[in-house]
A and B are shown apart, each in its own frame.
Chain A
Amino acid sequence: MGEFVIKMPDVGEGVAEAELVEWHVKPGDPVREDMVLAAVMTDKATVEIPSPVDGTVLWLGAEVGDTVAVKAPLLRIAIEGEGHAPADTAMDTAAKAETPAAPPETAEIIPLERATAASPRVEPAAPPPAAPRRESPAAAHPARHEPGERPLASPAVRLRAQEAGVDLRQVAATGPAGRITHDDLDQFLARGAQPATAVPGLARKTATEEIKVTGMRRRIAEKMRLAASRIPHITYVEEVDVTDLEDLRATMNAGRKPDQPKLTLLPFLMRALVKTLGEQPGVNATFDDDAGIITRHGAVHIGIATQTPSGLTVPVVRHAEARSIWDSAAELTRLADAARNGTAAREELSGSTITITSLGAIGGIVTTPIINHPEVAIVGVNKIMTRPVWDGTQFVPRKIMNLSSSFDHRIVDGWDAAVFVQRIKALLETPALIFIEG
């Protein structure tokens, strides 16, 4: 029997480490070639690690949620045939300190002898890390009795509960002194063995559930903390009359060619943004506050905040300045779908210079968007509502939408922010201006 060591692959982007988000195997499991062993996540993307060999999993090198250095051993697989070095001496303990080498796109597989020879020094085995352990949500059901107290029930009820695999501590008691009756157990079982919810009146719930913040959620949390703690936000809300824009949109959609996508409001906003940013390049910038350098970008890469099943993600419409409204719409649709399917490439999920956030029909009146660090501005789209507007002689129904935009106040002064939003407002209210060159 020999062994293969599978190391954390270099997943590109110059990253030095990646987070282990899922094990598909555990020690002792047989594996076949191409079977997915684990999933690791970098800043933007999840990469699956397949097995290059048939064998049996011997050892897992990390727990879910751990950050693992590129080239650090990830798991060991016992295989038939070559490789005879004793397992205990094979730990490449120096790997974590190594800088990433040339990036192979898949997991780096090194037969054990070569791995040993290649490592600068061979140390005795590091203490074996604990096998991955799934945190079961602690006490997902409300406790019905004081902790440590045995549930009060007759032997017959207790026997039935044992037979049914029911923990009587989860059963709501209606008997005197908190005694669980046969009826209580019947009701509990009839409810699909779910703890009762407020059946005998309102009950206090004391259970808590611990959820480990891993993967996507951890990335989101880190980014939000970074943005909210570093950037002094100024949020500016303005009302925009989009009646004419909506008319134009309806007309364009009615006349679109079969190969053209249906237009939403966002492509118009993107075009207006491109035009405005041409006049105010200071808003299309990124701010490296550690180095004290503002980078103004010629290109307009617009991040589109998108809700996916695993959380908030921001696919990027690159070079919006070079895209027509139809092109913008098509790219927007493609990226949103890719992000939701999880098929978006890493480069499609980073590198934006300004971001649009829209909650669509549930957009509310006002939002206070958090800037997508290290950008300096974010434009939030609120809901379009038909409102009575005084036109000088009478009330007329107009389609009104708010824009809630945040700016990095260190870089963008209030005046500039107001001018920026007012310019967008002017363009959106008279949409023909969006399309006038010069």
Chain B
Amino acid sequence: MKEIVCKLLVIGAGPGGYVCAIRAGQLGVDTVIVESTKAGGTCLNIGCIPSKALIHAAEEFDKVRHMAGATNGLGISVEAPRLDLAQTVRWKDGIVGRLNAGVLGLLRKAKVKIVHGRAHFRDGKTVEVETETGTQLIRAETVVIATGSEPVELPALPFGGPVISSTEALSLPTVPKMLVVVGGGYIGLELGTAFAKMGSEVTVVEATQQILPQYDAELVKPVTKRLTELGVRILTGAKAKGLSNEVLVVEMASGEEKRLAADKVLVTVGRKPRTEGWGLEELDLDRSGRFIRIDERCRTSMRGVYAIGDVTGEPMLAHRAMAQGEMVAEIVAGRKRVWDKRAIPAVCFTDPEIVTAGLSPDEARAQGYEVRVGLFPFSANGRAMTTQQEDGFVRAVARADTNLVVGLQAVGAGVSELSSAFSLALEMGARLEDIAGTIHAHPTRSEGLQEAALKALGHALHI
């Protein structure tokens, strides 16, 4: 059996793993990374990136289709547009391919050795990899587990045939006529919205009383309004019971059963850490629920074994994994590091988009703060008017005693790009006065942030 000995072994080349390996390589750490499929992980191959590609295509199609209809006020007219989803998917795959190659290039540039194949732990320092050319044994001083997560399956709706996960939804050859989305979280709504814009009749089945249950009602309201405009049917308090003959049986909270015709059923009821099939049982690491337990340095219960990314817990977000990966690489290189991030922003690419960082007003109150909240609606923002997307707002949450900003949220078209300003404000420990005293370019949506801070201080200028 062939054998490699290295200082650092990273299992999984998703956003956490490849960032960890690149940074370790930059720091001169002798690093090997193992990946069983394609570099980039869920995010790049079957998550963030391809879904955003599909969402963009759907948005463009919807825009044009909208113009082709009645008067749109802009004076633009187009002939009936058509969508070739197969071509859209090819375009999307092209972007994914470019990024795959990019990640591999970055790893090579950082002098990281890449081993393709499925890794299996023999013990805490030794991993076997089934490669195309045989079994490769890798011994490492330090191991980083970055195996990520995968979609949760519903027992009543096992994946296969018409029942699909987000992975298959991103590569459908044609637009399904009738699509039922089971699970009204951000993944289901992002894809459901995209298919609605591409022409599907979409029904969302959500078990709780609100879609996007992790967000407060104020933030979700504009999304619900837009879904209704797009003709998406929303069933809350509803449970999927099973599928037979292209009919999905749904039980409502009242006990009533609804039968929904469906070409495809997209199940997006959450993701689970990938903790099976690679020999975790050999290590017997402490768990935190289903996840691998880590400390503030991403150390597991076994010395020399770190874990990063989705396998370690919520929020399962690529940028969290990347930051953890970078930190672990620096620790392995001997730097003193500890996880001390103040905010992990989260973006939901629905229409309109939602972005949050830090605490919502209710969360801040629950932590015992007296808060000051300022909300600025995009209906009072010039840029929003000129792009015909006036729904939504920016909201600032601050401590009443010091005006220290503890949370920032927004809902509206394109607000995902406000995430950097939000996180920066929180990481820098900004007060409301800092944001209010910073010139925000006009006319942009970002002015909403300054105005929300002014509003919280009691002297907003434009409302």
Contacts and interface: CB of A to CB of B under 8 A. Distances in A.
B336 A162 contact: yes
Interface string A171-210: 0000111110000000000000000000000000000000
A177 B337 contact: no
Interface in A272-312: none
Of A154, A163, A176, A177, chain B has the most CB atoms within 10 Å of the CB of A177
B340 A158 contact: yes
A155 interface: yes
Interface in B333-391: 335-338, 340, 342
A154 B337 contact: no
B94 interface: no
Contact of A176 (B337, B338, B340, B431): B431
Given A162-B336, A165-B336, A152 B427 contact: no
Interface string A133-171: 000000000000000001011110010001101000000
B404 A155 contact: no
Of B399, B403, B431, B433, chain A has the most CB atoms within 10 Å of the CB of B431
Contacts of A158: 340
A155 B335 CA distance: 16
A177 B404 contact: yes
B429 interface: yes
B365 to A, nearest CB: 16
Interface string B388-421: 0000000000010011100000000000000000
Contact of A155 (B336, B338, B403, B427): B427
B338 A152 contact: no
Contact of B429 (A154, A162, A165): A154
Q: How large is the interface on B (under 10, 10 to 19, 20 to 34, 35 or more residues)?
A: 10 to 19
A155 B341 CA distance: 8
B428 interface: yes
A165 B254 CA distance: 59
Contact of A177 (B338, B402, B427): B402
A152 B336 contact: no
Contacts of A179: 429
Contacts of B428: 154-155
Given A152-B404, A163-B335, A177 B340 contact: no
Contacts of A175: 429
A208 to B, nearest CB: 24
A152 B429 contact: yes
Nearest to A178: B402
Contacts of B399: 177
A162 B338 contact: yes
Contacts of B402: 176-178
Of B340, B402, B427, B434, chain A has the most CB atoms within 10 Å of the CB of B340
Given A162-B338, A177-B402, A154 B427 contact: yes
A153 B404 CA distance: 12
A154 B425 CA distance: 9
A155 B427 CA distance: 6
Contacts of A176: 402, 431, 433-434
B336 A177 contact: no
Interface string B428-461: 1101011000000000000000000000000000
B335 A177 contact: no
B234 to A, nearest CB: 39
Contacts of A163: 335-336
A153 B427 CA distance: 8
A178 B428 CA distance: 12
Nearest to A156: B428
A367 B460 CA distance: 71
A175 B340 CA distance: 19
Interface in A207-254: none
Contacts of A178: 402
B293 to A, nearest CB: 21
B404 A162 contact: no
B300 to A, nearest CB: 21
A176 B401 CA distance: 12
Contacts of B433: 176
B443 to A, nearest CB: 30
B422 to A, nearest CB: 14
A150 B404 CA distance: 13
Nearest to B403: A177
A294 to B, nearest CB: 66
A401 B2 CA distance: 94
A176 B404 CA distance: 9
A179 B404 CA distance: 10
Contacts of B340: 150, 158, 162
A312 B431 CA distance: 56
Contacts of A162: 336-338, 340
Contacts of A152: 404, 429
A152 B340 CA distance: 11
Nearest to B342: A150
B417 to A, nearest CB: 20
A177 B342 contact: no
Contacts of B342: 150
A154 B335 CA distance: 19
Nearest to B432: A177
Contact of A153 (B338, B429, B431): B429
A154 B427 CA distance: 6
A167 to B, nearest CB: 11
Interface string B318-339: 0000000000000000011110
Nearest to A155: B427
A175 B336 CA distance: 25
25 contacts: A150-B340, A150-B342, A152-B404, A153-B429, A154-B427, A154-B428, A154-B429, A155-B428, A158-B340, A162-B336, A162-B337, A162-B338, A162-B340, A163-B336, A165-B336, A176-B402, A176-B431, A176-B433, A176-B434, A177-B399, A177-B403, A177-B404, A177-B429, A178-B402, A179-B429
Interface of A: 150, 152-155, 158, 162-163, 165, 175-179
Given A154-B428, A158-B340, 10 more contacts: A150-B340, A153-B429, A154-B429, A162-B336, A162-B338, A162-B340, A176-B434, A177-B429, A177-B431, A178-B402
List 5 A-B pairs, minimum CB-CB distance, nearest first.
Answer: A177-B402, A152-B429, A177-B404, A179-B429, A154-B428
